[in-house]
Amino acid sequence: MKNKQIKSFSTIKSLNKDSWDRCNSEGNIFLSYNFLNLLEESNSISKKTGWQPIYFGLFENNQLLVCCACFIKTHSQGEYVFDHSWANAYSSLGLKYYPKVLIASPFSPVSGIRILVNPSSNLENKDILIKEIIKYCKENNFSGLHINFFDKKELLFFKNHNFLIRLGEQFHFINQSYESFDDFLRSLSYKKRKSIINERKSIVDRNIKIKVFQNETIDKSICKKMYQFYLSTIEKKWSYNYLTEDFFFMLPNYLKENVVIIAALENDEIIAAALNFVSKNTLYGRYWGAEKHIPNLHFEVCFYKAIEYAISKKFKKVEAGAQGLHKVKRGYLPIYTYSAHMLFDKRLSVAVANFLEEEGKLVDKDINLIKEKLSPYKH
């Protein structure tokens, strides 16, 4: 540790943007300096919202070698890895599950590297930082440390540091070098291909137009509309509006080049839209909403147009958010997701370890079954 220092910060603005993004070498938009700064500036993450940020960094001669975005959580909302039963188990023993510490990208069930390493650094520094974060959690009496949606490349790393590993599943569209949407359709079985054609035709028959907003066409008016759709979906699902109105209004200032809004227009009026983010070779579908229910409109805006757009840009994949078996017959196949958990009460840790082992077997079985029996692709 000679000449090395570990520091923590309560705001991303205390760190140098170029240094942080250099560590985020894979270009994950959801852990980029601008995305985290936008969440802070819009008051979407704060102590008040139960997402209190604390950024750890390992420095050598003032150079940032390794860093990590952590959050002190007073609830489990907005995480997409469900641990409410664990919190109940803690409570039944007279223990407090909250606050806990979470390493993740807020409100984003998107996999990626979680311990960010400067390309000029070495993996030993990654070990040093995670050990320091574990120490911090224990010294401050947090119930545990959790890492959600980490990249599979970090699996062995977290196992080696005695984290419990949890498997999950999502549904992604993988672009097999398709030349067009029609080319993609030809890869499907006849029944699934016909179903998609009919669903898309139903939208055309209603004279609904689909428009893509990006770059200079992303302005405050479309962002305001997107926020209204976001709220409408939240209300329908009895969920929480994690993102503030300011988040949407400030989007063009922070992430304009990474935002793609796919909108549906009826009589030249926007009646539905989906907010997507672009990060390297992937399109990420995040939020959707509509003024009224129109059969198949959700599939057209969120799935089919997203695939069409990704193919046109030669992106490798589309990630359409968490869960959703209905995505399978529309070209999205199951993939594994990973999270890591360290609970500091040994009794609960043993119980959770047993639970995760059984849950993992079910995830394995489900993914294999879907691929073998439900895949829409020709065999």
Please give the biggest Cα pair distance in the chain. 69
Please enumerate in sequence order all residues whose Cβ is within 8 A of that of 354, keeping only pairs 6 or more positions apart, or say none.
Answer: none
Residues 323, 329, 331, CA angle at the centre, nearest 5°? 85
Taking each helix axis from N to C end, the angle separating 220-236 and 245-255, rounded to the nearest 10 degrees, works out to 140
Q: Quick one: 21 and 160 in the same domain?
A: yes
**pLDDT tens digit string along 13-70?**
999 999 999 999 999 999 999 999 999 999 999 999 999 999 999 999 999 999 999 9
Q: Quick one: 11 and 74 in the same domain?
A: yes
Domain-embedded: residue 324: no
Domain-embedded: residue 68: yes
The region of weakest confidence among 158-167, 224-233, 306-315, 357-366 is 224-233
Cβ pair 60, 51 in contact under 8 A: no
Q: Quick one: 98 and 184 in the same domain?
A: no
What is the number of domains present in the chain?
2
At residue 194, φ and ψ (nearest 5 deg) are -65, -40
Range of the domain at 366: 4-169+336-374
Domain-embedded: residue 240: yes
Q: Quick one: 214 and 341 in the same domain?
A: no
Q: Which of 249, 258, 291, 247 is nearest to 273 (CA)?
A: 291
**pLDDT tens digit string along 346-359?**
999 999 999 999 99
Q: Which pLDDT value is given to residue 323?
A: 77
Mean of the pLDDT values across residues 313-318? 97
**pLDDT tens digit string along 79-97?**
999 999 999 999 999 999 9
CATH of the domain at 245: 3.40.630.30
* pTM across the whole model: 0.95
Q: Quick one: 293 and 150 in the same domain?
A: no
